[in-house]
Amino acid sequence: MRILLLTLFLSFLGYSAYSSTKIDSILAQLKVELSRKNIYDDKKELRIKALKAKLESTPQTSFNTQYDLCDKLYEEYKVYQFDSAYFYTQKLLDISRSIKNVSKENETRIKVGFLLVSAGMFKESFDCLNHINVSSLHDSSKREYYSIKSRAFSDLAEYNSDKNYSPSDKAQAIKYIDSAIALSKPNSFDWLYSQGDKQVILSQLQQPSPYFIKLLDSYTISEHHRAMVSTGLSFFYNKPNQYDQRVYLMAVGAINDIRSSTKETLALFKLGQELYQNGNVQDAYTFIKQAMDDAQFYGARLRKIKIGAVLPVVSAQINIATEKEKNKFLVYFLSIAVVAILISLVSFIVFIQLKRLKVKEKIIEEKNTLLEKINEKLIEDTHIKEEYIGYFFNVISGYILKLEKLKRNVERKITIKKYDDVLLSVNEINIKKERETLFYTFDHIFLKIFPNFISAFNSLFKKEDQIWPKDNEVLNTDLRIFALMRLGISDVETIANILEYSVNTIYVYKMRIKAKALVPSDEFDHRIMDIKAIEVPGKGQE
């Protein structure tokens, strides 16, 4: 019995470690994809630019060609940017009316309905969809019409979220999704996705949807569709012990949204909420902030409201954590100051002992010439130590005097109730100047230890990609990041705190620089750590 319990316990630990590793891995991959977001967006912009160029060169009388190009531009924009997508649907409507093609006009109105639902404009979307003559649509267009109308009622039910209106909205959503399923080819993407979507609307979430699982496991689908299906499947893992599966699927959805340049997205926001509720505030803020940027870029009004209600709460937690870190730093600084004083006292005692030893050595000097030379060397070493100890003691004493002066000044002003003057006293400390002095000292000391660092660093890049300090700089931000790494500070958050940047900014700096290197990313870090310090004279010659 004990062996069985031990086996189960070890198995549970192994599974937990595996799950944690899997989540860490997918979140790391998501952060990499976030750093590459502009690359994917640039590719989409190039496709759009090419289509616009074709449209401009198309004669005004070539209505069919114009219609096809506008339709392609709508497809590029429909989950990317609402205003542009809406603009091209209006052009499609104008062309349809010009050629008096009612079928194309109705199909375009379906596209407009999709955009309005995506933007959270419920009244406008229902007005648009209700003006469509459904009987005149082809089966494929009918299926799309019913799917969009089902989504409109489903989103409206979620928005209302009450016992008066939501049930009837959900009933309408089911009615239209059933119509869409009836018009879909069995086992096609549309049929399987609609079946899974129906389960979500009905809150039949007790078991993972076999329809969504089949799409992910057995079908070759686009990145956009993979994002939709993964996000939809995550809703089925709603129990506390299914956190890892839920987060993994949301992360997969977010990654595929980024790769497909989808801005009308839900996965990143939901993922941020999950991480925040689980205590991962830093990643939660990063993802929710990006979700807000996407919603603003697309023009999703309702989603901006939802994210706007959550983002300040997460941001406040970040600020609280930052304040705690500042307090920790102050405690560490004061602790170091106390230790430094103790070291100074001990050093002073040692110095006194050395002086006494010097008197004794002078007596021995008269008897032994060799000992005289040794004594001279000892005096020289003692002088060097004295200079360093004096310098260090003066620096620490200066900071103590500043703190003591500030303390007395603040106590005096509080005593006489001049509270407004307290802030003025605190502001006398020029933090910016102190930090600049810190960077200046760090740069000079670092280059004294690693005089070849800048040239060795730039040997890893092409000439046009090399990074050199300006005339008024010793090291710049790019070089300082990797200088800290060379000193053994590999934690991105620590580097960000030292340089007063966000973690995401430091991560982007590193990824941008590594992307230009002549060596792979993993090897790049090793090459930085291989840069040699200046050789200490006499070391290794014993």
Percentage of the chain modeled with pLDDT above 90: 40
List, for residues 399-454, the tens digit of each pLDDT value.
Answer: 567 677 777 777 777 888 776 666 666 666 666 776 777 677 777 777 777 788 89
Confidence of residue 327 (pLDDT cuts 50, 70, 90): low
SS3 234: helix
Separation between Cα atoms, residue 140 and residue 138, nearest integer Å: 6
Q: Check whether residue 452 and residue 518 sit in a common domain.
A: yes
Q: 188 and 288: one domain?
A: yes
* pLDDT number for residue 19: 62
Do 364 and 467 belong to one domain? no
How remote is the C-alpha of 113 from its chain's centroid? Answer: 33
pLDDT at 388 over 60: no
Q: Is the domain of 260 the same as that of 244?
A: yes
Whether 540 is covered by a domain: the verdict is no
DSSP codes, 331-352: HHHHHHHHHHHHHHHHHHHHHH
Residues 237 and 295 in one domain: yes
Q: Looking at the domain assignment, is residue 247 inside a domain?
A: yes
Q: Please check whether residue 268 lies inside any domain of the structure.
A: yes
Asked, for residue 326, whether it belongs to a domain, the answer is yes
- Residues 291 and 202 grouped into a single domain: yes
- Do 438 and 515 fall into the same domain? yes
Total domain count, the chain? 3
Boundary of a domain, candidates 381, 413, 429: 429
Q: What is the pLDDT of residue 398?
A: 57
Q: Locate 364 and state its tokens.
A: 């021995």
Quote the pLDDT of residue 120: 86
pLDDT at 261: 93
- My answer on whether 263 and 295 are in the same domain is yes
- Mean of the pLDDT values across residues 472-494? 84
389 has a pLDDT exceeding 90? no
Q: Is residue 232 part of a domain?
A: yes
Q: What is the mean pLDDT of the chain?
A: 82
Distance CA 392, CA 398 (A): 10
Residue 117 tokens read as: 């639902």
Is pLDDT larger for residue 378 or for residue 116?
116
pLDDT of 372: 63
Tell me, yes or no, whether 82 lies in a domain.
no
Pairwise CA distance, residues 108 & 103, whole Å:
9
Q: Domain of 294: which CATH number? A: 1.25.40.10
Write down which residue in 398, 429, 460 finishes a domain: 429
**Of 540 and 122, which is predicted with more confidence?**
122
Instruction: Judge whether 498 lies within some domain.
Output: yes
Give the pLDDT confidence score for residue 12 in this predicted structure.
Answer: 39
Does 350 share its domain with 395?
yes
Which of 413, 429, 445 is a domain's end point? 429
Statement to judge: residues 423 and 514 lie in one domain: no
Whole-angstrom Cα distance, residue 476 to residue 315? 29
Does residue 12 belong to any structural domain of this protein?
no
Distance of CA 182 to the CA centre of its chain: 42
Task: Name the strand (E) or helix (H) holding 250.
Answer: helix 243-259
Res 34 pLDDT > 90: yes
Q: From CA 526, how far away is CA 499, in angstroms rounded?
A: 22
Q: Quick one: 465 and 438 in the same domain?
A: yes
Query: Is the pLDDT confidence value at 380 over 50?
Result: no
Nearest CA among 168, 192, 167, 166 for reference residue 180: 192
Q: 359: domain range?
A: 320-429
Task: State the pLDDT at residue 536.
Answer: 44
Is the same domain home to 454 and 480?
A: yes
* Three-state DSSP state, 461: strand
Q: Is the pLDDT of residue 392 over 60?
A: no
**pLDDT tens for each residue of 74-91:** 999 999 999 999 999 999
Q: What is residue 412's predicted lDDT score, i.e. its pLDDT?
A: 79
Q: In this structure, what are the phi and psi dihedrals at residue 145, rounded to the nearest 5 degrees?
A: -60, -50
Q: What are 247-266's pLDDT values in tens digits?
A: 999 999 999 999 999 998 88
Q: Which of 492, 469, 467, 473 is nearest to 481 (CA)?
A: 492
